[in-house]
Structure 1
Amino acid sequence: MSLLELRDVSYRYPESQEVSIEHVDLTVDAHALTVIVGPSGVGKSTLLNLIAGYTTPLNGQVLMNQQRVQGPSWQRGIVFQDMALYPWLTVAQNICFGPKMRGLAATTYEPLLTELLTETGLLAFQDQPVYELSGGLKQRVALARACINQPPLLMLDESFSALDNYTRNEMHQLLLNLWRRLENSIIAITHDIDEAIFLGQRILVINGKPGTVAAMLDNPYFNQDVTTGLGTDYVAFRQKLLGLIEQTN
């Protein structure tokens, strides 16, 4: 049984007559890692907002575990590019914010907090205010904050785009480690083709006005370090992706 299904989903912003995305179908299995790529303005973030339950489709259905998504839920965590952290709270307080708001007892999430602080390299910073941290450390806090709820589905909206290459590579490995540990599903949006190829078991390409699905590709280079030698097959796969992104409806 699939974890998530989008069936013929379309969306138009209330203040506009322009349709943002149209006739989008998507299936995400449990413990799958899906990356969405496409030009700016084709509705990639809109798609995440629909899956998160922040907005409602104009047409079609968004289903999670065969149940219609009707609003936000801890079961669908999301990490934004701007992180949306609370700067006046400490690292640990930021991470624990979600479980506390859900009314969970501290004993239910404190063991996972310690594990996440350790795995993300934040243990030494747990009592430090977030505003004192670097961008890379803040992104680690945002990721840990989403993971402590143990959502079956975690979404990332250009979450690593503002980081330098070295820090971004560290975050890639951290994300994959957490994904294997928590055994959840991940949907990530990126504009970086090489990031998409490294992180995505499957890569969904959206383009056009309105945004529609151009392709869904199985990725033979998932979690492979190709920087030491880019073979002709990899280059051809990368060029195929670029060509699909550049297509217009």
Structure 2
Amino acid sequence: MGQPAVTPGLPTYRVRGIGLAARTAVGATAVLYLAVALSPLLGMALARQARIDNERELLLAALIVEVVLSLPMVAAYLTAAVLVIIWTWRARKNIEVFPGALPTLGAGWAIAGWLVPFANFVMPVRVIANVARDSLWRRFTPTLVTVWWSGWLVFSIGERVVSRLDSRAYDRLPETPSTSGDYQAYGDYYRDSLLRNAVPAVACVIAAVALYLLIQRISAAQEARIARAAPAWPNGPVPGGPFPGVPLSDAPAPTVTPPGPEGQSRT
């Protein structure tokens, strides 16, 4: 006799809804980050127009646009982080009830792994790799996990490096541009910023797509397994009932035989 889909008596957690929310937030973060990464294109155009018109206000407009685009991106990023952590914890708890699964790290690492310094370079991918193997029944870690984590590391580190380089380069710009060379310096700054943003932007898209697919596939596999273990009654077949495989409400009513003469009382 085969093993049950899940170990009886242990709790399971729904991951489809939270997984959908996490995928949506991850996708929104990637799109908004791309908008921020490409915003230097507008800065280049405004710097060129400012040089022609000698209008410093256009340079300020470029800075405001970048800030306005960054705010929703940060909000989406934080939302995605919270949802992914919740989803990871639920998915990690679920594999504990899957017979044959081999959890290698405690469920607490699904949360602490993202928050503990230095450990957050290793622990999140180990938790996800474990969840992916035991949910998708793979002997080895799926390639998507490696692609996701590689993209995430390049994006996370690259974005910080680019931010510092941009900040230092911006501080060297003339505060009150007045000559053609001053305005050209702003144009060169936005051009260089656009080039610097290329690597983390590509890495962000790769990581987001890989994580989106991982959450989708793991959620579907876990939900399907949990559904196989769910009892079919009371709306389905009644175990041990007189009509196996037929809902109780659809079962034919038993035939009642009137009592015969021997069943009648005597006076």
TM-score normalized with structure 2 length: 0.23
Larger Rg: 2
Structure with greater proportional helix content: 2
Structure with greater proportional strand content: 1
TM-score normalized with structure 1 length: 0.25
